[in-house]
Structure 1
Amino acid sequence: MRYRSRVTAPAAVLIGTATALTVGTTAHARPGTGDDQGTPGSETLGDPVFPALGNDGYRVHSYHLDLAYDATTKLVDATATLKIRTTQALTRFSLDALGLDIRSVRVGGRTAAFEQADEKLRVTPERELPAGARTTVCVEYSADPRRTLAHTAWVPTPDGFAVCPQPNSAHTVFPCNDHPSDKADFSFRITVPNGLRGVAGGLLTCTEPVDGDRTAYSYRSRSPIATELVQITVGDYLVKDRQGPHGLPLRDVVPTARATALEPALALTPGLVEWLEARLGAFPFETYGLLPCNSDDPKAFDFTGLETQTLTLYKPNFLLQEEKKIGSHMMHELVHSYFGNMVSPATWADLWLNEGHADFYGLLYRYERGWADSLGLTTMEARMKDTYARGDQWRHDSGPVAAPNAVNLFDSQRYLGGVLVLYAFRQLVGEDAFHAVERAFLDRFRNASATTEDYIAVASEVTGQDQSGFLRDWLYGTTTPRMPGHPDWTVNKVASSLVAPHRLRGGHHHDNSATL
């Protein structure tokens, strides 16, 4: 199988610079011959954590999602329109899809045969697609957000829904190439009964009445989005606009009945953005804000926050706490706009790049304000000494920092373990060089995906020294290396099995407010 482990340019650039044959109602591909003979596309991108996720043989340029919500039946009727470019001649290709009732599929405007098998939607176009072809795939379907599935992104609420796609569940909401290495442009149209509001990532482009008793809200993102970062929500929401640093538009989407109570937390965002911009550069997207989803039901979602692009999803009750209990977590989620959203992981094994950085800056923000963490510690040095002592145990129980599996993907090793790697690297090269590496990495892979090896390469280039041995020992070693600048730090002996307790775990599938 073939797997492109690194994306060095946004999908739009790749497509815009390709010489391609458009396949549609006016120009049809002829079946390939000789070396161009088509084959079915691979139904995997070979991800080391989720090997069944994603599909090869094409890349997606854009998605347009048109969803209509029925408040009486609680069902969603939808059309997903994908613009794709083939990377090989294809007789058949697949999309990721689970729990969706597919009605029809069209490729290039022509009806295509399809079948659903496990979590794949296999599509056989009327005519073979040659390599380098650009075409449109249109899938009509319906979905029930309350349906019980093996895993799901739907978060049902009393008045609608939100979505939580990370890591591998976007395809329970819309058919897609569900892997962060295939980022694409997104636009949305959400039709809801009057009295409710439909919201999605990006900026509102149009509001229009439909049939007198419904309203359609349209949104478009200016930057590509990984499927795991899509947000679509419907409910009785109030949109609150404010201005951030340098005129950045901030919009929060809050339950109407709790808008006043949530205002103290929402008002923190401008200051958070200003603090982070001083360290990582200008905010990378067209807008930012919070979505305190209209549900605190622990059965609906067992996390505190999720960094869906431009609109971070939260449990409302979490944001009702005082600033010192929520500020570092809000910073954690904001950091994901840079690490995770603007620069996405090329594989799920690269998750530490997202979560290690988010916890790193979240902790710095906390300690600058003198807020004690969950262990009662008030400095980064003290917290890293404590984490360092746990290093061998975590490597024993959860593997190296950059080698997770599907079970331990969101445990402390990817979060605080990732922080420890960054802290060790900063200790080695110094504050100025460390921040130069951070900014260079973000600039180089802006709106694309990057691997752990990409970070190591940038670190070596910017510092002028080969950092591969040092960073690989910290990221892949089975024992914890010596900490630069702290020869007295020691690592605890390994017990036979001691999984990090829940309160010390990070992750969007755990409550990591305690972690910070």
Structure 2
Amino acid sequence: MRYRTRVTAPATALIGTAMALSGGHTAYAAAGKTPGGKGTPGPETLGDPVFPALGNDGYRVSAYHLDLAYDATTGLVEATTTLNLRTSQALTRFSLDALGLDIHSVRVGGRTAAFEQVDEKLRITPDRALPDGARVTVRVEYSADPRRTLAHTAWVPTPDGFAVAGQPNSAHTVFPCNDHPRDKADFTFRITVPAGLRGVASGLLVCTENLDGGRTAYTYRSRSPIATELVQITVGDYVIKDRQGPHGLPLRDVVPAARAQALEPALALTPGLVEWLEARLGAYPFETYGLLPCNSDDPNAFDFTGLETQTLTLYKPNYLLQEESKIGSHMMHELVHSYFGNSVCPDTWADLWLNEGHADFYGLLYRYERGWADSIGLTTMEARMKNTYARGDQWRHDSGPVAAPNAVNLFDSQRYLGGVLVLYALRQAVGEDVFNAIERAFLERHRGGSATTEDYIAVASQVSGQDQSGFLREWLYGTTTPRMPGHPDWTVTPVTSSLATPHKRTGGHYHDASATL
């Protein structure tokens, strides 16, 4: 039982959150329909071509409320996840993705529901069937151990708490969910921590509660929907550093208290990065932005340099202690994901090149404008693309076409620099002004949702006034590298059958983009 002793935000904020999550009722409802009719079990997949077991169908989630309490003595988390969902068919049973969570109870529409955990699914059977179109509140109580060994995990344990890194398929090791970027939802987070620690999450702080025993509960809410893989929740000995970005954009960094001063030179770069990118892609799409240098130097804690969790990019702290020329383009790469990847999510994981190709594209442009040599010593986009073009057939041989990955090669360079090469080819074909218009139109059309590769092709065709489907599909799905517009002299190196793919990711989350930039 948690006892609130003082609240430093208006009570209406919490009441609004509770009402939004419950829909103003405690039971499921469907206008003009009576619960308890016939139905079938919901599919335990969304049909993703890369992760076919990921996600669940038969419903869509509109909102999550995560209530987590961290015990510093045991290192365990006691949690409740409440979901608002709407059925898209009559259901006798439905499932959530869940792995490594000790489930205590499940309630559907305020009623106790039967459940079982099978592989990475939490199967839920309500006491009566859910009709098509029903709005349903699902409440799951559980506990979790951030240090538990699992086949894959989003937990990033630290000496004083944890952070999370759910990309691409691990958010459901932190909270039960429909773990697929196609099903974005609103999020609120309530994080209870012991004295001396701070809880932070994606979005903006809306409430702070002082509780018994010196504990504090922090509540955050996102103004925009979030894909499950982009959720950030962190607990640790952090200080919050606020500053102002372009047009009054609030910037907040969550920084290990012991390193705040040392990290300041890197953190101070963010306003300039945002200004540069807004000039190319339009206004920053969220309510805030900032960095989270996770409080851990353990090389085994996470296998990436940075991860674009929404409104709060996760970093290894030591990486940000380097000079600007070493980190600036990577910081730009992660910021670009606020547009490509976060505001507009991939509709399936086969569409990942839209995220990573764009992030590397603008990261490299930013680097070359500043005269910084890249990781292989080149100083212009044209030189880097000529180098990448020469590798094109080899990468297609080793990693498949740019837009046709599998679970093993998902984060290979083909999705990163291979994606840059596709964007460069399109810009060569249509001209820089038209290309820039395509980029903005795509972001505007799909803002707050997800998009497929075909969606990008459709926008490129409409904005350019020419059918780009043949051109782009050849670049994205062909087994050999097409001719580069404007560069008839560029050649492709013949394939070597056993050449290993360069810059291949080393672990389960995210390719180290700093290696390509």
Q: CA deviation at 1:505?
A: 9.0
Evaluate the alpha carbon distance shift between residue 505 and residue 377 of structure 1 in structure 2; reply closer, same or farther with a 3 A threshold. farther
Q: Give 1:350's aligned residue.
A: 351
Q: CA deviation at 1:503?
A: 7.5
Q: CA deviation at 1:297?
A: 1.0
In structure 2, the gaps of 5 or more residues are 1-22
Q: CA deviation at 1:512?
A: 2.2
1:417 maps to 2:418: yes
Q: Give 1:360's aligned residue.
A: 361
1:232-311 correspondence runs (5 A)? 232-311=233-312
Q: CA deviation at 1:22?
A: 9.1
Q: Give 1:450's aligned residue.
A: 451
Q: Give 1:110's aligned residue.
A: 111
Would you say the 8 A contact 1:296–1:317 is kept in 2?
yes
Would you say the 8 A contact 1:152–1:165 is kept in 2?
yes
Query: Per-residue displacement from partner, 1:179-219 (whole Å, max 9, x unpaired)?
Result: 00000000000000011000000000011111141000000
Separation in 2, partners of 1:46, 1:453: 17
Q: Give 1:472's aligned residue.
A: 473
Q: CA deviation at 1:296?
A: 1.8
Give the SS at the match of 1:317. Answer: helix
Aligned CA-pair RMSD: 1.6
Counterpart residue type for residue 459 of structure 1: A
In structure 1, the gaps of 5 or more residues are 1-20
Q: CA deviation at 1:487?
A: 0.1
Query: Per-residue displacement from partner, 1:285-326 (whole Å, max 9, x unpaired)?
Result: 000000000012121101000000000000000000000000
Evaluate the alpha carbon distance shift between residue 284 and residue 26 of structure 1 in structure 2; reply closer, same or farther with a 3 A threshold. closer
1:390-469 correspondence runs (5 A)? 390-469=391-470
TM-score, normalised to structure 2, is 0.93
Counterpart residue type for residue 170 of structure 2: S
Would you say the 8 A contact 2:411–2:505 is kept in 1?
no
Q: Give 2:98's aligned residue.
A: 97
Q: CA deviation at 1:510?
A: 3.7
Q: CA deviation at 1:499?
A: 2.1
TM-score, normalised to structure 1, is 0.94
Give the SS at the match of 2:491. Answer: coil
Evaluate the alpha carbon distance shift between residue 39 and residue 421 of structure 1 in structure 2; reply closer, same or farther with a 3 A threshold. same
1:196-235 correspondence runs (5 A)? 196-235=197-236
Would you say the 8 A contact 1:23–1:133 is kept in 2?
no
Query: Per-residue displacement from partner, 1:342-372 (whole Å, max 9, x unpaired)?
Result: 0000000000000000000000000000000
- Choose 159-168 or 504-513, whichever is displaced more: 504-513
Counterpart residue type for residue 122 of structure 1: R
Counterpart residue type for residue 233 of structure 1: T
- Choose 51-60 or 210-219, whichever is displaced more: 210-219
Q: CA deviation at 1:506?
A: 12
Number of corresponding residues: 493
1:312-351 correspondence runs (5 A)? 312-351=313-352
Q: Give 1:514's aligned residue.
A: 515
Counterpart residue type for residue 199 of structure 2: G
Query: Per-residue displacement from partner, 1:60-88 (whole Å, max 9, x unpaired)?
Result: 00000000000000000000000000000
Q: CA deviation at 1:54?
A: 0.1
Counterpart residue type for residue 458 of structure 2: A
Would you say the 8 A contact 1:504–1:514 is kept in 2?
no
Q: Give 2:161's aligned residue.
A: 160
Evaluate the alpha carbon distance shift between residue 273 and residue 350 of structure 1 in structure 2; reply closer, same or farther with a 3 A threshold. same
Q: CA deviation at 1:25?
A: 3.6
Evaluate the alpha carbon distance shift between residue 285 and residue 27 of structure 1 in structure 2; reply closer, same or farther with a 3 A threshold. closer
Evaluate the alpha carbon distance shift between residue 26 and residue 474 of structure 1 in structure 2; reply closer, same or farther with a 3 A threshold. closer
Counterpart residue type for residue 496 of structure 1: S
Would you say the 8 A contact 1:22–1:135 is kept in 2?
no
Query: Per-residue displacement from partner, 1:411-439 (whole Å, max 9, x unpaired)?
Result: 10000000000000000000000000000
Give the SS at the match of 1:319. Answer: helix
Q: CA deviation at 1:500?
A: 2.0
Separation in 1, partners of 2:503, 2:230: 25
Separation in 2, partners of 1:248, 1:515: 30
Would you say the 8 A contact 1:304–1:508 is kept in 2?
no
Query: Per-residue displacement from partner, 1:214-271 (whole Å, max 9, x unpaired)?
Result: 0000000000000000000000000000000000000000000000000000000000
Q: CA deviation at 1:135?
A: 0.9
Separation in 2, partners of 1:404, 1:514: 20
Separation in 1, partners of 2:502, 2:468: 33
